Amino acid sequence: MLLAALGCQGSSPKSSETAPTVVEVRDAKGAVVDSVHAGKPCRTEFEGTQLVVENGKLASGSAHWTTEQRKNGTAMMKDGEMVARVVTSEEDVSAGHTDVVDPKGIAISRISRMHGHLSVGDAGSRRLREGTRSDGTIRVGELTVTGTDNLLLAGLITATEVPPEVRALAVCE
């Protein structure tokens, strides 16, 4: 879905020497707190939880997570039950949004970008975090994201209100 440009689950690299793209999130002290290693398989670490996504599937504990493409977005399934749906809209080169909603359609997180500015909000459209792109990094609140210039991807990776498994499937799908 969002990491298609990074090649997370896309075609394999043309050269075996090509290193996978790494997106890292650092806290105010510079410590890596989240990361995505694009490739096959796609490896993520969110809040200390390491997850591996391959072909739209991941195992976390005894649960099996999968994705299902639907007309109204990508459903994130845990043991066959929908947990969330991710809907991304690229309106034009300067605007777009990614919404993560629960099975009832209530927003868990609303991530939008407009002219280089990022906003992460909740169901009530209350702003949780804001972000900007500058000098090869993206600042989201107190966090710094490197390895991508995609504001929506940075917003989703840093969306702690979204379960780690849903974030992993969304960024690696």
User: Is 144 a member of any domain?
Assistant: no
**Within a domain: residue 90?**
yes
* HSE-CB for 121 with a 13 A CA cutoff: 12
Residue 15, domain member (yes or no): yes
Cis peptide before 41 (omega within 30 of 0): yes
pLDDT at residue 23 greater than cutoff 60: yes
Looking at the domain assignment, is residue 56 inside a domain? yes
Question: pLDDT-derived band of residue 5, with 50, 70 and 90 as boundaries?
Answer: very low
Assigned domain for 79 exists: yes
Region at 138 (left for phi over 0; alpha for psi -120 to 50; beta for the rest):
beta
CA distances to 46, 47, 62, 81, 139 from 110, rounded to whole Å, are 19, 20, 29, 22, 17
Token pair of 59, please? 């195992």
Which whole number is the average pLDDT over 15-19? Answer: 50
The CA distances from residue 152 to 9, 109, 118, 173, in Å, are 18, 12, 7, 14
| Domain assignment of residue 81, given as a range | 4-137+155-172
Asked if the structure places residue 117 within a domain, the reply is yes
Cα–Cα distances in Å, from 161 out to 6, 33, 41, 63, 121? 24, 15, 25, 20, 10
Please give the pLDDT value at position 91. 75
Please indicate, yes or no, if residue 149 is contained in any of the structural domains.
no
**Choice between 79 and 4, residue whose per-residue pLDDT is larger:** 79
Q: Which comes out higher in pLDDT, residue 27 or 115?
A: 27
The answer to whether residues 101 and 107 touch, using CB atoms and an 8 Å cutoff, is yes
Q: Is residue 147 part of a domain?
A: no
DSSP secondary structure string for all residues of 99-112: EEE-TTS-EEEEEE
Number of separate domains in the chain = 1
Average pLDDT over residues 143-162: 94
Predicted TM-score (pTM) of this structure: 0.85
CB 61 within 8 Å of CB 77: no
pLDDT of residue 1: 53
Structure tokens at 17: 């020497």
For residue 35, give every residue at least 6 positions away whose Cβ sits within 8 Å of its Cβ, in sequence order, or none.
Answer: 22, 23, 24, 25, 44, 45
Q: What is the pLDDT of residue 116?
A: 87
